[in-house]
Chain A
Amino acid sequence: MGIFKELYNYRQMIVGFVKRDLKGKYKASVLGFLWTFINPLLQLLVYTLVFSTIMRSDKEQYYLFLFVALIPWIFFATSISGGAGCVVSQSTMVTKIYFPREVLPVSYVTSAFVNMLLTYIVVFAVTIFAGRGLNPVAILYLPIIMVIEYFLALGIAMITSALTVYFRDLEYILSIVTMAWQFLTPVMYDMDMLEGHTTILKIFYINPMTSIIMAYRDIMYYGQRPKLTTLTTAAGMGVLFTILGFVVFGKLKRRFAEEL
């Protein structure tokens, strides 16, 4: 538990890292911070074109159906595969100064999270613009599911970033794993497509991201409150992985300075 108190003491370092990350991203570009919004808008434009003219889907406004789930997914995938390198990339600091090593994955995931929040402004704008009403009661659940996803991503990122110190190519393996994982999560399709496949469904429900993505879609696309079972499953997974992440990281961090 001491680690949480220490992380709190080092909050300024985390804030500094997150700021540097967000500022640094578009530092040399002309439009600067605007890219945070332009990027998802352009992405959305492409999806709209592709799925309303070329690959027609029977889902109504499929691009929105996809978009509300894709943004949280990208956050998750970035956290675990990009986040895997966050300790290794700061090797000079890790070998030379003391600070709670947990600061590194926490800041990485937090900055990806802030990025997702900003992108979600675009999601809101487009949803309203497209004429889909937002259910205010359902929206209340959005922060809850976001926090759950944050902790799930953090827990897994802590495991991957600590393991990457010992196995350097885990970073590359993970980019393939996350791609496969995306198809095992209902990001591009709905769970009702799987009706009847009982064994496959079991796998889907073991996947902690399934319930999270379903909750996002319930809130933003269907405009309904997520099912209580979906929420509790997601929350349970989040807590489990956070604990696991901190325990694994805490064990592996002892030899970071020597391995780097």
Chain B
Amino acid sequence: MSEHSLHANDLYKEKPERKVVIEATGIHKKYRVYRDKGYSLKEKVLFWKRNRYEERWVLRGVNLSVRQGEAVGLLGVNGCGKSTFLKLLSRIMSPNEGQITIDGRVSCLIELGAGFHPDLSGRENIYTNAAIFGLTKKEIDARLQDIIKFSELGDYIDNPVRTYSSGMYMRLAFSVAINVDADILLIDEIMAVGDANFQEKCFKKLRQLKRDGMTIVIVSHDINTIESFCDKGIWISEGKCASEGDIKKVVKDYRNFLDKERQAALAKEMEERRKDAKLRIAEGKADFVPAAFLDENAGEEDVDYGHNRFGLGHAVITDVVMRDHEGKMTSVFMQGKPCSMEIHYKINKEGKEYIFGMAFVSSDNYIVYGTNQRRDESPTMLPSSVGRVTFNVHNMNLAPGRYIFSVSIIDDKEVPMDFYRNYCEFEVVSDHKNVGVIQVDHDWTIEGDEEDDV
């Protein structure tokens, strides 16, 4: 079956002359933003000044042309106008300028279940909801079993919809929307449907519909979904089309833009913190001032190794949480049990690599044990700019006593980013009365030798 479908898919790709089913040209849309809106005639007459509004252009000349069987993803940051564009395509709203022509029956997954009546049963709601998509009773009768089967509602189908859980509600709504034999499907944030299993099922169904020649337009924040599902993309930025065409290219453009945005935000935050740090030094409050906060171009030579905490500060330790073998937050550990140290970090400036290190120091400043990720040949890839790296102790075998926990972040050239010599103290307890600094894994054996009777 998969072979056959792959074949069908390839055929579609080789036939670019399929007919255009959605054609939107020069779409402009503005909203009226009222300062203080009066709805009644009285208010409109008496307080006519209040009815002043500002016009805000959400879309400023977007074009879209979709051929039959294509899946198009709309990308963009919040408020860029992509949802508005979808609402225009679905004809819920009309554009102020521009022309939209749509060839075929449209089904929307925009507001699932918006037409449901809570007191009616699931079955009755299928009829009213499908009627909203423009189906006749005969057509609905023919699809009823498919809809009920897909929704997995079983016997619940005859209960009033108000008794449904939100997942059941969504499943029913989704089932109706995709079973109305639409030619074009418009989807806004589909990821909200039911549990993971049902979502998977939805995607399978969508892929099948796509293979069967349905045209699909999707709005989603999930770039990965769009990239894997769509053939074409359009990235809308500030009401205009910033990039369009092959989905791979559009996603790449959009990702580049997002990266730049994030870096700009980080740089701005850095600048603010630098100002703040300078202020704190001036006031004599700072205990640790990363060198990079004082000078953006600070290098290794600017690091002052004399302090308890020092470093460039491109990545910093924000917190350390210690947990005992039961996962409880504590600074007292049982000897011989596992425990862990979660090092919370924040990246202020992206670097090639950041390596986390640690040391247990005895109260007389003797390093009992120290290591770092590089020495342990442990992976150092950090998934996000904030997070935590955990040092898992399989067996706390320090001897009972008080210790200092030392923690550090260095970069790939071993330049200290945040080196915290004396982060905190912890205690190891045991009901065993051994002495020293570590517990040696051991046991005793006794063997007697045969007496050499001479």
Contact = CB atoms under 8 A, between A and B. Distances in A.
Given A169-B41, A170-B41, A258-B31, A16 B114 contact: no
Interface of B: 31-32, 39-42, 44, 87, 90-94, 106, 108, 110-111, 114-115, 117, 120, 127-128, 130-132, 134-137, 140
5 contacts: A13-B132, A20-B128, A97-B110, A98-B92, A254-B94
B127 A98 contact: no
A20 B106 CA distance: 25
A173 interface: yes
Interface in A1-53: 9-13, 15-16, 20
Contacts of B117: 20
A90 to B, nearest CB: 9
A117 B262 CA distance: 67
A167 B41 contact: yes
Which 9 residue pairs are nearest across A and B when measured between Cβ atoms? A96-B111, A96-B114, A13-B131, A12-B131, A169-B40, A168-B39, A167-B41, A254-B94, A98-B91
B44 A97 contact: no
Interface string A89-100: 000111111110
Interface of A: 9-13, 15-16, 20, 92-99, 167-170, 173, 254-255, 257-258
Contacts of B140: 12
Contacts of B31: 258
B106 to A, nearest CB: 7
A13 B134 contact: yes
Given A92-B114, A167-B44, A16 B128 contact: yes
Contacts, number: 71
A9 B127 CA distance: 15
Contacts of A95: 92
B94 A96 contact: no
Contacts of A254: 94
Contact of B132 (A97, A173, A258): A97
Nearest to A95: B92
A3 to B, nearest CB: 12
A16 B92 contact: no
Contacts of A167: 39-41, 44
A72 B348 CA distance: 76
Contacts of B120: 20
Contacts of A97: 90, 92, 108, 110-111, 114-115, 132
Contact of A16 (B91, B93, B127): B127
A13 B92 CA distance: 17
Contacts of B111: 96-97
Contacts of A20: 117, 120, 128
Which has the most chain A C-beta neighbours within 10 Å: B90, B108, B110, B115?
Answer: B115
Given A20-B128, A93-B115, A10 B41 contact: no
A258 B137 CA distance: 31
A96 B83 CA distance: 12
B192 to A, nearest CB: 14
A168 B91 CA distance: 24
Contacts of B90: 97-98
Nearest to A90: B115
A172 to B, nearest CB: 9
Contacts of B93: 255, 257-258
Nearest to B94: A254
A15 B132 CA distance: 11
A11 B137 CA distance: 9
Given A20-B117, A97-B114, A168-B41, 8 more contacts: A12-B137, A13-B132, A96-B110, A97-B92, A97-B110, A168-B40, A169-B40, A255-B93
A12 B114 CA distance: 17
Given A97-B108, A97-B110, A16 B39 contact: no
A99 B131 CA distance: 10
Contacts of A94: 92
A85 to B, nearest CB: 13
A173 B45 CA distance: 14
Contact of B131 (A16, A96, A169, A258): A16
